[in-house]
Every structure is written in C-alpha cells, then in structure tokens.
Chain A
Amino acid sequence: MSFSVTEPSARTKWFAGLLVVGYAIVTLIPLLWIIATGFKSPADSIAYPPVVVFEPTLEGYVNLFTDRTRATEGMLEEAGPPTTWYEEIVRERGTVITGPSRYGERFLNSVIIGFGSTALCMLLGTMAAYAFSRFRVPLKDDLLFFILSTRMMPPIAVAIPIFLMFRSLGLNDTHLGMILLYTAVNLSLSVWLLKGFIDEIPIEYEEAALIDGYTRFQAFYKVVLPQAATGIASTAIFCLIFAWNEYAFAVLLTSGNAQTAPPFIPTIIGVAGKDWPAVAAGATIFLVPVMVFTILLRKHLLRGITFGAVRK
C-alpha cells in the first residue's frame, strides 16, 4: 500500500468504526424490537422488564389475519375440536375464529396501487425525461421547475379540492383514483431522476443508430432504454417505496374499498385492548420488503433522495 498523508491512521479508523457501528446498533434496536414483538405472546409483549429471550409464537400473525370472538360453551361444542394449528392457537385464548381480517385486503390494495402507480409513473416519466434530455422543449427550465415545485405542496393543502374533484368523477376510494394521484405525486421524482440518467448516456449512440436508419422511436426503445435500464429500475423502486409508504392522502381519500395498509395497521385492535403482537406482525410484513429494496438500491440511494441533485 502506498503511503499517503490523507489516509487516516489505523487507530483513527478503528475508533471511527467503533462509533459508527455503535450508532448503527442503537438505531436498529427499534426495528428489531418490531420484528421480535411480532413473535411474542401478548403477555411477553407487555412484560416488565422487557423480555429479550422468549418463546416465539405465531399468535400475533394468526391474530393479524383473522377476526375472533370470545367463545361461549355452545360455540365450542358446535365447532368441535380444532383441526388446524392456527385454530389451536386461538382456542388456547378461549376465542374462536369468525373469519379472515381485513389486513389481507389492505395489503393487496397497497400492492395494486403501489405497482399500478409505479408502472404508469415510469411510462410517463421516461417519455418526459427523454424529451427534456434530448430535444429542445420550449420553456424547458420553467417546466422542469414547475414539475419539481409540485412536490413542495403539503398534501393536506390540496386534499380538499382533490376530494371534491374525485367525488364528482366517482374516483373517491377507488384504486384508479389513488393510482392517478400517486403517479402525479411521483412524477416530479421520476422525471428529474430519469433525466439525469438519460443525460449520462452519450448522444452519439443514438446518432449512430439514426444514421443506420433507425427512426427516433426505434432509437429510443432499442438504444436509450436498454442503456438506462439500471437507472429506470432504481427510479421505479423509489416510486414504489413512496407509494407504499404514503399515508396522508390514503387516510383522507380512502375508507373501505381502496384503503392501503399504512392507515389500517394503526387501527388493529384485539379482543381485549391493543394487540401489540398483531400490530408488530402487520408492520413487519409491511416493512421488511422495503428493507430488501433498500439493499438493492444502495448505489443509487443518494441520487434518489435528492431528486438527482447529488450524483456522487
């Protein structure tokens, strides 16, 4: 290794590493606590002092996906002995399953709205970004700033007219309405990020393709799109995460039909009081996919969170 005056000494590195790892562990504790609470029994979840070693149970997950009621003698006789493992868990608490809970539906809504808005946003965003990157668009800078400024608006501020507008169009509490809304919110991010990625592809590639007899459209989808694939993929994940996490519009504009998981998870309650293991189970299922995405995104993370302003 070559000697350099700017290379920190081994002791400095060790010390810096120690502090950073210490911070990382402290910051991870709340997340690990969510995951662990999902596998605790109700008694363990509210034990004092908090328990770290416990007997794991799937009760939280069973409670998350089912509606239950306190069983009377007659109901138990009628239902007979439990036939499945999850019925057994429920019976131990003196309750019977009355049906599936709404969590599955809400989760599915999150998936439909998240993926739907991401797909639409990528389609519109790639086209607009390509045009802004390659063509002389009149008032280009003004339009780009306008697109960015739509992100500054507090969601609550535009929620009233959107509510009125959606009501008159019959879009309130529908998947389509939420997909259009999230697409509009995400467009600023996708246009700015994708423009940055497309700017980096040398224009000579397309010129060569055009000389070879490709049309503009062919040059766009045969040359530019494959080159921008990683950029498009990471932008798509950012849009998906945003739509996945969004709460303000979801809580104001949806109630039954198209409600997503974030407004639903905090409303989960058990037969007697707040059922924290079930809440934690719901949160775990909802949060873990995002953690996986974060690992996939790590190279483009910085660019994504700053709308392409910082590129490393």
Chain B
Amino acid sequence: MTNHAIESAAKQTPDGLARRIRGLSDRAIAWIFVAPTIILLLAVNIFPLIWTIRLSFTNFRVNRPNKDVEWVGLRNYERILSDSDIWNTMQATAHFLIWTIVLQVLIGFTLAYLINKKFKGNDLWTTIIVFPMMLSPAVVGNFWTFLYQPQIGLFNYAIAFFTGADPASFSMIGDVHLAPWAIVIADTWMWTPFVMLICLAGLRSIPDSIYEAAECDRASKWRQFWTITIPMALPFLMLAVLFRGIENFKMFDLVVQLTGGGPGNTTTLTSIDLKREAFERWRTGYSSAYAVILFVTVFGLASIYVKALNKVKER
C-alpha cells in the first residue's frame, strides 16, 4: 500500500521537478531524508528542554502570566535539594524501583528458564503471558483499584481465601504500609513479561555446544547453570534492568491511576510530585528546576550503567 502511494505521488511530480530530484547526489538525499526527523525532534524535545532549563532559573508561574518574571539564579535548585519532602519522594521512588526490579528479574528469569525447556506449546503460552505489558497502564491501573477494593475486590478475596484473613480487614491502596506494595504488585504483574522476553533471548543465544562440552567434562547441572547460563545471559539481564530502571524512574500513568500518590505521600513517586508542583501548584520555575534535576539523574545513572554493561559484554 505504502509502495503504491509513493509510486502515484512520484507520477504526479511534475517532470522538471522530478528530473531535479533524480539528479540529486546521495549526500543531498541523505540530508533530505534525515532533516525532517531531526527538525521535529529539535522542536518537540530539545527546544522544550532548553526552555525548561531557562525557566528553572526564574520564578515564573504559568497561571500568572502578567507578573514580572524575575531571574532568581540557583535559588530553585537550593530549595529543592534542601526540601525534606523531596527526599521522602525519592525514598518512595527508590522503594518502588528496587522492589519492582528485584521481583521482575527473579520471576522473569525463572519463567524464561522454564520456557527455554522447550515444552510443547511454549510459544502460545509465551504470547499469553506477554499480554499485560502491551496494554494501557492508565486503564489497567484504574481497573486494579477495583481488584484492590476491600471486601468486594478479587485480590483481597484471593488473599483472604488463602490466608483466612477477613477480606474487609485490609485495604491495599488505603493503608500507608500496604500502598507501596500495591503499586509494586501491579507493576510486577504488568512488566515481568518484558524481563522474561529479554532473558529468553539471552538463554536462546547460548549455543548448545558449550553445554555439550561441559557435559563431556562431567560438570554438574548446578555448576553449568552458574558458570555458563548466568554469565552468558548476564548482558541481556542487565539490558532488561536498564530499560525497566529508566521506565520506572519516569513512572506516572499506572501509579497515578492506582493510588494517586496517596495515602498521604507514601506512593508519591517523583513524576507524580513533579506533576503536582507544575500543574496543580503552578510553580513553573521551581518545577522546571525539579525536572532538570530528574533528567540529569536519569541520564547520569544510565550512562554509568551503560559503561558497566559494555564491560560485561566485552568479557
């Protein structure tokens, strides 16, 4: 279809213009092909980023456009870094980040290891397991609030069924101790398949001949697992952790629908806090500085991690 559309577009091009296009050098074509992408990305990503950095040094507020904008230097940054609430937010984010990654890696790798045993129908079941991660996090998060309802929720019913507790006695999203786990469970349900798929690719990349050689050397299965399987799948595992780390550091949609950051501030992840500062309290300059700090953190951590990943790959 695409082919046909382009062909008819080409036929409609007037002869003079067409001849000029045909006469273009490869270098010119390369620029014509790349330029629209770069221009759009500069306009929608880089330009706003520079604007954010500029705003972060001012006391600008979107809801008061007529007020004079003052240059405040680094004051926004000082206020953020000395604010104890922000550190609470960071703690909530760290709790979420660490536990989702640990659980997803453990469950995801185990699943991949089992699927790699090549039982009959493993392709079909892999596809079924993958469903949750393709769905809209906001819609799914909203529905999980229904599963988490005390008394009537399916999740509470299942827990009560297996432990004998009263299903109305606990509220996953209303309790300050349980809410941080409620978001971890929902995120793990959704994103474990992602880690599983990448681990599966890692396991499948290990050639059989290595195991055959190990078998000839009478290495035990246990030893084979720790000296062949794990080291060879490690780069893939680390890649999965990188992707999940970046995504969950930015986490917004699933959690904002699930708990809205509450109860109190127990599940207020950085993106949710940033949204409140920027679009509810309208402290534009302050929240811009906040955004810059977050971006620098993600970018910094990611580049250190990628260096480590490349070292592992080289080994």
Contacts and interface: CB of A to CB of B under 8 A. Distances in A.
B33 A131 contact: yes
Contacts of A161: 47-49, 51-52, 55
Contact of B36 (A5, A127, A248): A127
B52 A160 contact: yes
A53 interface: no
* Smallest CB-CB A-B distances: 7 pairs: A157-B291, A17-B119, A184-B44, A161-B48, A135-B30, A131-B33, A161-B51
Interface string B230-243: 00000010010001
A135 B198 CA distance: 31
What secondary structure prevails in chain B residues at the interface with A?
helix
Interface centre among B32, B36, B62, B167 (most CB of A within 10 A): B36
Interface string A235-269: 00000010011011001100000000111011000
A215 B10 CA distance: 12
Given A216-B22, A302-B197, A306-B198, 19 more contacts: A16-B115, A31-B132, A33-B154, A48-B167, A128-B33, A128-B36, A135-B27, A156-B275, A158-B45, A158-B49, A180-B44, A184-B40, A221-B10, A222-B3, A225-B3, A279-B142, A280-B143, A291-B131, A298-B123
B125 interface: yes
17 contacts: A6-B208, A21-B125, A127-B36, A152-B299, A155-B252, A159-B278, A160-B62, A161-B49, A187-B37, A245-B135, A245-B139, A247-B136, A248-B253, A290-B136, A301-B130, A310-B201, A312-B204
B225 to A, nearest CB: 13
Interface stretch (B75-83, B144-152, B170-178): B144-152
B24 interface: yes
Interface in A263-278: 263, 265-266, 276
Contacts of A21: 125
B287 A14 contact: no
Interface residues of A, number: 104
Contacts of B154: 29-30, 33, 50
Interface stretch (A73-81, A95-103, A162-170): A162-170
A261 B249 CA distance: 25
A16 B114 contact: yes
Given A49-B157, A160-B288, A247-B136, A184 B252 contact: no
Given A4-B208, A30-B144, A20 B114 contact: yes
A219 B118 CA distance: 42
Interface string B100-138: 000000010001001101111111011111111111111
Contacts of B268: none
A309 B167 CA distance: 45
Count class of interface residues, chain B: 35 or more
Contacts of B243: 305-306
A58 interface: no
B217 to A, nearest CB: 12
Contact of B52 (A128, A143, A157): A157
Nearest to A120: B40
B117 A310 contact: no
Interface string B178-198: 000000000001001110011
Interface string A148-186: 011011111111111111000000000000001101110
A13 interface: yes
B201 A232 contact: no
Contacts of B152: 46-48, 50
Contacts of A276: 146
B136 A294 contact: no
Given A17-B122, A217-B10, A221-B3, A266 B138 contact: yes
A90 interface: no
Interface in A25-48: 27-31, 33-34, 37, 46-48
Nearest to B157: A50
B58 interface: no
B138 A247 contact: yes
Nearest to B29: A216
